[in-house]
């Protein structure tokens, strides 16, 4: 994955796969603390304790079709190679919280990339998904939320406009 | 498109158009957006499908997503599901192929044989 926003899309897809109807994404860039953090929280089915212990192992998956599950393993490797870490806490039937941190000035830190496109794709076809996004950059904040209108998630023109609005919102943080 | 009012106006227009779609069997484009699909460029492919459909003002085709189906080497994978016809799976799709799939297959009904990996 060449952008952190692709990892974010992967995390959001995990939440959807877990049956979540409510997902929140928070991205924090804090220059004084030299920290970039990504938080995803959902109300999906959660992860059992024994699975949680080995969840970032690339040969761990809930799928029965094959034995690899690379998403979290790749994110953990990226976070750790950038002086950060990956933490996951979960309660079955309640939901899951994932947080990934990175050193903001680390030479290997991938670019954040196109978060607006990530959110547009995540919302595509996801009727009923209540989604919120907050981006904090050195004291400035941008927020976007979608109440999960059943039909709008399928309308191309609407989704593209949403992408444009988020792009403008992120730009305003500079 | 600058304000919330503009977005609300578009919401109403979109809902009106979608009412038409719900009244008939619609065409579906399903993109594989698992870890493998994302790493191979599925996000750009979904974006290209949405842009092409919006550009052509097509509102009776829905774009949806699925996870990994086990053919990671051929990602991004795209299914085109047209009621009454075999489901066609395209492999190694990129943004430019996505636009061509809309023009040739979805609009004109001609399967782009060169990129097909499966037909069911």
Domains in chain B, start-ordered, CATH in brackets?
A: 24-119 (3.40.30.10)
ipTM given for this complex: 0.91
Distance from CA of A42 to the nearest CA of B (A): 18
Q: Is residue B93 classed exposed, middle or buried when 0-12, 13-18 and 19+ CB atoms within 10 A define those classes?
A: buried
**Inter-chain residue contact B64 with A125, CB threshold 8 Å:** yes
The Cα B77–Cα B89 span in angstroms is 7
What DSSP letter does each residue of A91-145 carry, written as one string?
A: ETTTEEEEEEEEETT-TTPPP---HHHHHHHHHTT-TT-EEEEEEEETTEEEEEE
Q: Would the CB atoms of A74 and B35 count as touching at under 8 Å?
A: yes
Q: How confident is the model at residue A56 (pLDDT cuts 50, 70, 90)?
A: confident
> Where in chain A are the domains?
4-171
Say if A128 is an interface residue toward chain B (CB within 8 Å): no
The DSSP line for A29-53 is EETTTTEEEEEEEE-SS---HHHHH
Q: Which CATH number fits domain A4-171: 1.10.260.40, 3.40.50.2020, 3.30.390.30, 3.30.565.10?
A: 3.30.565.10
The answer to whether the CB atoms of B46 and A149 lie below 8 A apart is no
Per residue in A26-52, pLDDT tens? Answer: 999 999 999 999 999 999 999 888 888
Helix-helix angle B4-22:A156-171, to 10 degrees: 160
Residue A63 has pLDDT above 80, yes or no: no
Asked if B47 and A120 come within 8 Å (Cβ–Cβ), the reply is yes
Q: Looking at the complex, does the CB of residue A143 fall below 8 Å from at least one CB of chain B?
A: no
pLDDT given for residue B31 in this prediction: 97
- Residue whose tokens read 């498109």: B1
B:89-118 residues touching chain A, CB 8 A cutoff: none
* Stretches in chain B below the pLDDT threshold 70: 1-2, 17-25
Chain B residue numbers touching A9 (CB-CB < 8 A): 33, 38, 43
């Amino acid at each position: 994955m060449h952008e952190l926003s692709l990892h974010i899309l992967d995390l959001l897809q995990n939440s959807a796969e877990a049956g979540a109807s409510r997902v929140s994404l928070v991205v924090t860039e804090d220059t004084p603390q030299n920290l970039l953090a990504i938080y995803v929280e959902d109300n999906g089915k959660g992860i059992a304790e024994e699975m949680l212990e080995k969840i970032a192992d690339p040969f761990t998956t809930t799928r029965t079709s094959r034995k690899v599950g690379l998403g979290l393993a790749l994110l953990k490797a990226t976070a750790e190679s950038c002086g950060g870490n990956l933490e996951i806490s979960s309660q079955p039937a309640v939901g899951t919280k994932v947080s990934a941190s990175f050193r903001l000035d680390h030479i290997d830190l991938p670019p954040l990339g196109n978060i607006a496109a990530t959110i547009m794709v995540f919302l595509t076809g996801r009727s009923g998904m209540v989604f919120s996004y907050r981006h904090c950059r050195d004291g400035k904040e941008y927020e976007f939320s979608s109440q999960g209108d059943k039909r709008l998630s399928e309308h191309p023109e609407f989704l593209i406009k949403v992408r444009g609005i988020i792009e403008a919102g992120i730009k305003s943080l500079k | 498109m600058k304000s919330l009012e503009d977005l609300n106006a578009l919401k109403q227009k979109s809902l009106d158009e979608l009412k038409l779609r719900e009244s008939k069997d619609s065409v579906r484009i399903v993109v594989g957006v698992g870890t493998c699909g994302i790493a191979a460029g599925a996000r750009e492919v979904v974006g290209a499908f949405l842009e092409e459909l919006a550009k052509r003002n097509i509102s009776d085709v829905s774009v949806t997503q699925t996870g990994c189906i086990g053919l990671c080497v051929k990602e991004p994978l795209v299914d085109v599901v047209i009621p009454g016809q075999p489901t066609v799976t395209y492999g190694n799709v990129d943004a430019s192929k996505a636009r061509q799939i809309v023009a040739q297959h979805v609009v004109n009904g001609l399967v782009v044989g060169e990129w097909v990996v499966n037909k069911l």
